[in-house]
Copies of this chain bind each other. A is one copy, B any other.
Amino acid sequence: MEEGSKHVTGGITAPAGFRASGVACGIKKGGNKDLAVVISEDMASVAGVFTTNKVFAAPVSVSREHIKKGTAKAIVINSGNANACNGQEGLDNAVEMCKATGAELGVSGYDVLVASTGIIGVPMPMDNILMGISKAAKKADAVSGKGAAEAIMTTDTYAKEAAVEFDLNGRKVRIGGMAKGAGMINPEMATMIAVITTDARVEPVMLRDLLKEAVETTFNCITVDGDMSTNDTVFIMANGASGVKIGETGKTKRMFAEALKHLTNDLAEEMVKDGEGASKFIQIIVDGARDHKEAKSVGLKVANSLLVKCALFGEDANWGRILAAVGSSGADVDQRNIDVYIADEAVFKKGSGTAFCRDKVEELMKGKEIDIRVELNKGKGKARILTTDLTYEYVKINAHYRT
């Protein structure tokens, strides 16, 4: 994406000084991996972004506390149980997961962050989890990022990981990441969870700002069904093992920010591509808005419109539904100034439909990827939203899943 950062293999264990593992400890039926640890050799700077849902899970509550001091040694994540809506017992269990992980590493529970994903409202099987933590901590090594990525999956159909590398004054810096699920695409399997690691040295406050900035235009610009999870969590750990300090010059900060966006964008795209029941990958570009916020609200409204999603599934160039969604977004728009493009063809210009070739556009819509562009022609605000279509398969998965 940006010059200067290129893909490398290894996911979260691509950067120096990180160990990870994923193990099966019986939270999930069927013996799939369900517990991951990510460990930094040295104490790392950490930052996090969490769900804004007022109904949030116990691990979100605990990690929000632990992350305040800006440093941590490890992250522990389980899948198969979200530890959400479990009252005080849920909070106690989340704390215990941190303590047990810390004990394995000789640090306090406060030096550990925790996340959970899976079913809501079911007590955590703590015997299994404590056994899993012990096993995972012992097994963790510098090449098992993939195993950790597998262990955080719920209904994802494949593990999502990525890593990038860039040069700064002759030294290499790496950023790795893993992720699961987009928004609440997953039935009851609340959660998007992502963990990012880097061997750059970044102060906690700057790390938080850089993470927020990267999340805003990537993870926060994807949607599958508009539902917001109780467990959404993105963590970043920066351990400095590369010897490169970010922020000493504007260039280091800019290059790191670009590489981080490159990585979070990769993971965000993978999450949408693996969206539940999705048959299409949809990119909605909104341009000419007052600002990014307005552009984003318009794009999300179009992306979450059931009628638009159904039309995309049906490969119908139904621009009326796009316009109706734009108009109901709350943005101050004037239909006489709006242009709409589907697959680069102008279908609506300044108040009226154009004489576009429907056959040509609908042929283009048969591809796996469809671009929609909405030009509001009023300002310079811009946003890019990634989403999916709405299919029979989505309804099937989400209707026939049993709690």
Contact = CB atoms under 8 A, between A and B. Distances in A.
Nearest to A310: B398
Given A53-B327, A333-B55, A398 B227 contact: no
Contacts of A227: 305-307, 321, 324-325, 328
A145 to B, nearest CB: 30
Interface in A304-357: 304-307, 310-311, 313-314, 316-321, 323-328, 331-336, 338, 348, 351-353
Contacts of A396: 392
A47 B327 CA distance: 24
Most buried by B among A119, A323, A333: A323
Contact of A401 (B53, B314, B352, B392): B314
B403 A318 contact: yes
Number of copies of this chain in the oligomer?
A: 2
Contacts of A56: 327, 335
Contacts of A190: 320, 324
Most buried by B among A227, A307, A398: A307
Interface residues of A, number: 68
A337 to B, nearest CB: 11
A395 interface: yes
B120 A402 contact: no
Interface in A85-105: 85-88
Nearest to A397: B310
B184 A230 contact: no
Contacts of A318: 187-188, 401, 403
A399 B314 contact: yes
A54 interface: yes
B85 A348 contact: yes
B390 A324 contact: no
Contact of A316 (B228, B305, B324, B403): B403
A391 interface: yes
Contacts of A54: 326-328, 331-335
A253 to B, nearest CB: 33
A190 to B, nearest CB: 6
A26 interface: no
B395 A55 contact: no
B311 A351 contact: no
A351 B54 CA distance: 12
Contacts of A310: 187, 394-395, 398-399
A230 B55 contact: no
A70 interface: no
B324 A229 contact: yes
A247 interface: no
Contacts of A306: 225-227, 306, 390, 394, 398
A84 interface: yes
B392 A314 contact: no
A383 B314 CA distance: 36
Contacts of A401: 314, 316, 318
Given A87-B352, A119-B320, A316-B402, 13 more contacts: A53-B324, A54-B332, A55-B335, A85-B351, A85-B353, A87-B336, A121-B348, A190-B320, A227-B306, A314-B399, A314-B401, A314-B402, A394-B395
Return the 5 tightest CB-CB contacts between A and B, nearest first.
Answer: A55-B327, A120-B320, A314-B399, A310-B398, A228-B328
Interface of A: 52-56, 82, 84-88, 119-121, 184, 187-188, 190, 225-230, 304-307, 310-311, 313-314, 316-321, 323-328, 331-336, 338, 348, 351-353, 358, 390-392, 394-396, 398-403
20 contacts: A53-B328, A55-B323, A56-B335, A85-B353, A87-B336, A87-B351, A188-B318, A226-B304, A227-B305, A227-B307, A227-B321, A227-B328, A230-B327, A310-B394, A310-B398, A313-B399, A314-B398, A314-B399, A314-B400, A314-B402
